Structure 1
Amino acid sequence: MNTEINNKHIGIITINDNTNYGNRLQNYALTTILSQYGTVDTIRCYANDDEPNVCIDIRNRFITAIKCCAPGIRGLTGHRERNFQRFTDELVPDNRASVSSHRGLVPKNAHYDCIVVGSDQVWNDRYASAKGLRLRLASFVHDNTTVISYAASFGVNHVKAESEAAFHELLPRFSTISVREDRAVELVKELGNQHATLVLDPTLMLTPVQWRSITSDTVKNDDRFILTYFLGTVTEDQQDIINDYAKRHRCRVRSIYSYYTFSSDVENYPAGPREFVELFSKAQYVFTDSYHACCFSIIFNKNFKVFGRNGLSAKDNMNSRMETLFRLFELGKAFTAPEEESVIDYAHVNHLLKEYQKQSAQWLSAALN
């Protein structure tokens, strides 16, 4: 890599969500990948017509500190929020630059050689205002700055009719586009008449060694546990399956605490992103309905079972990003077979992963050159 390519100033536009594991970890992974090309900033994007407000930021941190002293769910919530904030502050700070529809890019003299949009559901028009969606399509870039996307996601099969004009206008301004699911390739063609390349989610671009390097070694290596992480509600039948599996394999159940799936019957862990990674690295088996939980199960070669969200069958509840992940790694059994049969051939999966990593890295290198 020559010096000119290696000295770029790169800005990332993503979703800045201090409550979502996948969001924080993909942000960290993309920052790590891009850092080989130069200096990388995550630009805080105010995509819901809000504006930077130091007083609100201070107030929120104060409220989190109070929650940490409370018992029960409030205490778990406070510790979880604090772990998230520490992760962002230390590994993916987003306080160097910001962009909003009212103020534009701040500081005004900020210059980037390249803006990288992604990853995560940056183009999901349900997660941004009309003006905010335009920001996530890099509408604020008016100079000769190169704009690309890496593993951008729509998160839906169709955008709202009122959002189509923004995509029609702004997608053609991208030098090159990559996305993380099959349906997104089609949507980029439909909405902007542009070609999009399918690449790996950034989390899958880092090695297990790289991921373990950010953990704190808070979980004992000989701790035998089944890990569960759900974004939807776990049904009684699903919980019975988990408990039965844990009992037969002499493991306890550890659940990564979520606002929506708290249960007094399991051990709830108020994990931040670092702890999330470590729990996946040391689990004996994983039950989940989460895309990034599947990604980290793959990274650490864990057998896992996908349940349908909120009681739906897994197959009926599959979205394009899950379908694409399972197609790429040939993982159909993880959501169609009973858990005892869900044994993944990781020699084959790891071979595929290395090939996809190589292809994705080559695409990114060419895009930034």
Structure 2
Amino acid sequence: MKKIANITWITYPNFGTFLQAYALQQYIISLGYEDVVLDDSTIIDTHIDWKFRVKRWLWSLGKTYRRYANSQKKAQNLYDRFKEEHILVESNVEDVQRLNETYDCFVCGSDQIWNPFSLSNPKYSFFYADFARKKKISYAPSIGVSSMPSEFVDRFQTLIKGFSFLSAREKQGQEIMQKLSGKYVANVVDPTLLLDGKQWSKLLDIHKEIADEKYVLGYFLTPNPIYIEAAKTYAHKNGCKFKMFYTDKSYYSVADELITAGPIEFLQAIHDAKQLFTDSFHGSIFASIFNVQFITFKRFKNTMTGQNLRVENLLKIMDIEERLLSEDDVADIDKLGKINFEHVWNQITPYITKSKEYLIHALR
């Protein structure tokens, strides 16, 4: 049986990051392979500069920060438990000779592991499997830019040169990689879409559902007061409690209820919500997977980095581009109808099928 090693982010606590790693591993295992994720904890830079340490100390003097800090500790424990119970991790990544002797193939992806600005850190060549002497495949890495910065072109070209199969999550990333590599690059879906709603729901069986509680959920990576107020107003207008994930200390004073969550609690909260308001790519995906009505806000201004590309691409494929709103569009929320999820899945299923075919072929 072939042994596969995946290279992606599994250290930084982010719902989508952990769940995409889980999904890719589960799908590869379902194809009959052994699969592990290589531990990236020695690669990720967790250094905190002295200025932030001072700010954090000052914040700690207030009750709001202490509540937030306690929530973050609980959330980290939930992430650690999820990794321990649901992701197979190879912790010994220092001995690259042993890695090459043990594993038959290295799969890089997904998430923004190939954002070129990360290359300013020499350690990040790890996410291109620069040490690998066996077959290398990329699955849905995101570049996160609309054009490749000139200072990273040569380095990026060198790092992707040795891949047997290349793919990208966004169309723009596909075009950039194709131009720089001279090879065909497949455009594939995020790994979280490789598993269906029934497969994801298996993670929720240990939790008690609160089916009678009506709430609107907010999941915001950036604390934009315009978006948050629009979501809260919508919730109260429709007789619902407004809940938010406690991912920023400023959220304490704006939500009716805050949720401390790891990956499973994140899934549960979306699954049980009446509607989701989010600026998150993966929030939009999981609302779709669970057929929960949602609205996605543009998290970033229009800049050269193209950070909105991932949600723009996703909603375009789903044929619901009208669900992506800017600050100027919040007044139009009540004018939007309901999402027809049967249509959404008719639109995206062919992309999922092609993505699975790409991975099946690449792993042979």
C-alpha distance in structure 2 between counterparts of 1:84 and 1:18, whole Å: 9
CA deviation string 1:292-344 (max 9, x = no partner)? 0011111111221122327x59xx98622112101111111112472231421
1:253 offset after TM fit, Å? 0.9
Identity of aligned residues (%): 28
Amino acid at match of 1:271: A
1:148 offset after TM fit, Å? 0.4
1:129 offset after TM fit, Å? 4.3
**DSSP-derived class of the 1:213 partner:** helix
Distance 1:73 1:106, change over 3 A: farther
Which of 227, 249, 269 is 2:259 aligned to? 269
Q: 2:37–2:89: 8 Å Cα contact kept in structure 1?
A: yes
C-alpha distance in structure 1 between counterparts of 2:272 and 2:87, whole Å: 24
Distance 1:249 1:108, change over 3 A: closer
**DSSP-derived class of the 1:305 partner:** strand
Give runs of aligned pairs for residues 87-126 of structure 1, distance below 5 A: 87-98=82-93, 103=94, 105=96, 107=98, 110-126=101-117
Q: 1:334–1:342: 8 Å Cα contact kept in structure 2?
A: no
Aligned to 1:166: 155
C-alpha distance in structure 1 between counterparts of 2:234 and 2:362, whole Å: 46
Q: 2:312–2:324: 8 Å Cα contact kept in structure 1?
A: no
**DSSP-derived class of the 2:248 partner:** coil
Uncovered stretches (5+) of structure 2, i.e. residues with no partner: 47-64
2:2 is equivalent to residue 8 of structure 1: yes
TM-score by length of 2: 0.85
C-alpha distance in structure 2 between counterparts of 1:205 and 1:192, whole Å: 26
Distance 1:135 1:226, change over 3 A: same
Give runs of aligned pairs for residues 90-239 of structure 1, distance below 5 A: 90-98=85-93, 103=94, 105=96, 107=98, 110-127=101-118, 129-142=120-133, 145-215=134-204, 216-235=206-225, 237-239=226-228
C-alpha distance in structure 2 between counterparts of 1:317 and 1:149, whole Å: 21
Which of 43, 58, 79 is 1:47 aligned to? 43
1:162 offset after TM fit, Å? 3.5
1:137 offset after TM fit, Å? 1.4
C-alpha distance in structure 2 between counterparts of 1:37 and 1:108, whole Å: 20
Amino acid at match of 1:319: N
Uncovered stretches (5+) of structure 1, i.e. residues with no partner: 1-6, 51-69
Higher deviation after alignment, 25-34 or 344-353: 344-353
C-alpha distance in structure 2 between counterparts of 1:241 and 1:160, whole Å: 36
1:219 offset after TM fit, Å? 4.1
Q: 1:233–1:260: 8 Å Cα contact kept in structure 2?
A: no
Which of 77, 80, 91 is 1:82 aligned to? 77
Q: 1:18–1:81: 8 Å Cα contact kept in structure 2?
A: no
CA deviation string 1:99-121 (max 9, x = no partner)? xxxx4527567521110000111
C-alpha distance in structure 2 between counterparts of 1:120 and 1:175, whole Å: 20
1:353 offset after TM fit, Å? 2.8
Number of aligned residue pairs: give it: 335
C-alpha distance in structure 2 between counterparts of 1:165 and 1:48, whole Å: 23
Aligned to 2:58: none
Aligned to 1:360: 355
C-alpha distance in structure 1 between counterparts of 2:271 and 2:321, whole Å: 22
Which of 25, 38, 46 is 2:33 aligned to? 38
2:298 is equivalent to residue 303 of structure 1: no
Aligned to 2:18: 24
1:230 offset after TM fit, Å? 0.5
Q: 1:178–1:196: 8 Å Cα contact kept in structure 2?
A: yes
TM-score by length of 1: 0.84
Higher helix share: 2
Q: 2:217–2:244: 8 Å Cα contact kept in structure 1?
A: yes
C-alpha distance in structure 2 between counterparts of 1:228 and 1:44, whole Å: 31
1:240 offset after TM fit, Å? 2.9
Higher deviation after alignment, 213-222 or 326-335: 213-222
**DSSP-derived class of the 1:194 partner:** coil
**DSSP-derived class of the 2:286 partner:** helix
1:158 offset after TM fit, Å? 3.3
